[in-house]
Amino acid sequence: MPTEKPSFLLIHGAWHGAFTWRRLAPLLEARGHVVRAYDLPGAGAQAKQPASYLRQPRDNEAFAAEPTLNSGVTQDDRTQAAIAWIEDMHRQTGLPVITVGHSLGGVTLTGVAQARPELVHAAVYLAAYMVPPGQVPAKIRALPSMNGSLVGLLGKGDPLKTGASRIDPRNPDPAYRELLRRAFYGDIDEAALDDELSLLHCDEPVSALTSPSEMTRERFGSVPRHYIRTANDSTMMPAAQDHLISTVDAAMGNATTLHTLSSDHSPHVTQPAALAALLSSIAANV
């Protein structure tokens, strides 16, 4: 269907892949937008799983200690991949591109907007790590405003030894599954939860959490930015989202446009219609 509306590049968060957008993308397309989503390097179909994760029955001690196979993936790899995707979208469609980063995908979004601001029609952070200049995502997790976040309870093993921020989506323990549900998907039912967990990978490279944010007024600050605040989030706590917004606004000398959804951490999974309407509205007004 011919369209002059802005297109969307959707960038997934930690432990996820392009699959996570499968409910949202058709709704945006039905509104006349071109939509693209890909697996970041070291994620989704590109993620390598440790042998102990795949082996049954599970040796939990081995799983907690085995080094990741994704240690060679850098944040720059991810930023460069996203730049290539946007360039390709411009070549194919000639349309402006709105880039949406969910959760840790916000780090890649920031990298793209800083490196190639002319490619990004608007930067939309969805419950995302919009990390202030010079800071690293791992430190954001330690902020007082992140108190109560469930993400720290999901970790398996020592990241300094394994080289990864590791979770266990295949863990059958009901208490751990409940943590995963509450952390990522709110009130999702059991059948849908099984579908989502079956597609997650267990290792997020440490480099994605330890790369300092590059963000200048002249480049990143020139890109219109929006933040979709998830008010019922148990992973990126609403107070932490507010902190990131105010800190970046002060550093950039201009304001982030704020939107709020009464949702959990993943409204593209649990409230896709509401999110599609909001994103289409943003596209109509940038």
- For the entire predicted model, the pTM comes to 0.97
The full set of domains in the chain, from first to last, is 7-285 (3.40.50.1820)
> Which pLDDT does position 37 carry in this prediction?
98
> Which pLDDT does position 187 carry in this prediction?
81
Three-state secondary-structure class, residue 102: strand
> What is the C-alpha separation between 117 and 119, in angstroms, rounded?
5
> Which pLDDT does position 230 carry in this prediction?
98
> Which pLDDT does position 286 carry in this prediction?
80
> Which pLDDT does position 1 carry in this prediction?
40
Q: Report whether 4 contacts 94 (CB < 8 A).
A: no
> Which pLDDT does position 56 carry in this prediction?
85
> What is the C-alpha separation between 126 and 103, in angstroms, rounded?
6
Residue pointed to by tokens 């992140």? 146
> Which pLDDT does position 3 carry in this prediction?
59
> What is the C-alpha separation between 83 and 115, in angstroms, rounded?
9
> What is the C-alpha separation between 203 and 284, in angstroms, rounded?
37
> Which pLDDT does position 148 carry in this prediction?
95
Give per-10-residue mean pLDDT for the chain (286 aa).
Answer: 81 98 98 98 96 92 96 96 98 95 98 98 98 96 94 95 96 96 93 95 94 97 98 97 98 98 98 98 93
